[in-house]
Amino acid sequence: MKNHITFLCTLLCVLLIGTAGVAQELEYVDGTTLTQVNKVHPTARPYSRLEVSKYPDLSKTVRRYYSHSTGVALVFRTDSRTLGARWTTVGNKTSTHYSALAQQGMDLYIKRDGEWVFAGIARPQRSDTHSATIVKNMPEGEKECLLYLPLFDELKSLEIGIDPGSRIEASENPFRHRIVVIGSSITHGVGAGRPGMAYPAQLERATGFEFINLGASGQCKMEQFFAHVAADCEADAFLFDSFSNPSAQQINERLDAFVATIRAAHPTTPLIFLQTEVRESRNFDEKIRKFEDDKRAASEAGMEKLLKADRNIYFINPGMPLGSDHEATVDGVHPSDLGFARMLEEIRPQIVRILKKYGIK
């Protein structure tokens, strides 16, 4: 009997010691109660980046892509030392071109000394239901947070977890001005390691301007529906990656009409066009090389004409410089994080100089 009592006491001590080392369960708040940034307008599906019902001429694929939370971020303040998340996604098929973290995960930045500093990731599970601790053991005190949402899936629900008894509240939009970016898979973020590494998000953190990502992977060929979306946007400037997807023939046929539709709604708003990259996939494939050379030549000729006619149009060429060592793409087409870094090192100062002419600073 004495041995039995001793065993029970020992077991109770072990359980108590073990319990003392277990972190407290987080308390969760609905993400829709926090501030969303990088959206053109409010949407019926809370984390979609565009209300596609307003644009019946959008193609089926573009409608699906614009239901993604690409580029959208939550901003909030909290004194919690731990941050976590629970979220659900539609469950798009995986691709060889991007990581699960970029597709369905999230990354967090916290402002420190006036700079957005990477703080952690919300790692997705192999299902449509996800739960993750983003960061823990943080110092006490209030933190200003920026959480980028998944790049390549529709976010159905999102809750942010904090320590019990901690405070979390919506912040004001920390970014000024509105720059709408319309483009290809490169703009969409294919090849980025995580959501915050897509180039519009990097431009945002570096400049303090709000960059709204309307990239549509493989789809942006200067169709009129993209021009209609741009015409409907409230924007201080537009940035276009519109020469990556179309053929030379499509550029010749569509560029003038594309710009004319936007100009009807935005007569003097600066329109900045990026020349597309020199693709690594052309290195040994002569057919690809000719296709790429032809479309680059067509874009240069078309832009030369527009620049003469409109003083508020700009052409950054090269617009996506990736270096000369052939090491800056994930697949010969899409920039890796290294590629995005090289691209932004060259084009960010040019974009900032252009915007400064219009009081965007």
More confident residue, 298 or 9: 298
Residue-range domains of the chain with CATH? 27-170 (2.60.120.260), 176-356 (3.40.50.1110)
What band does 21 get if pLDDT is binned at 50, 70 and 90?
A: very low
305-332 pLDDT, tens digit each: 999 999 999 999 999 999 999 999 999 9
**Least confident residue range of 19-28, 148-157, 159-168, 229-238:** 19-28
Q: Give the whole-number percent of the chain exceeding pLDDT 70.
A: 92
49 is written with which tokens?
């980046």
Mean pLDDT score, 284-297? 97
pLDDT of residue 18: 35
Q: Return the pLDDT at 5.
A: 43
Q: Is the pLDDT of residue 10 over 80?
A: no
% residues pLDDT > 90 (the chain): 90
Model confidence band, residue 22 (pLDDT cutoffs 50, 70, 90): very low
Q: How far is CA 283 from CA 58, 97, 126, 150, 286, in A?
A: 34, 19, 36, 32, 8
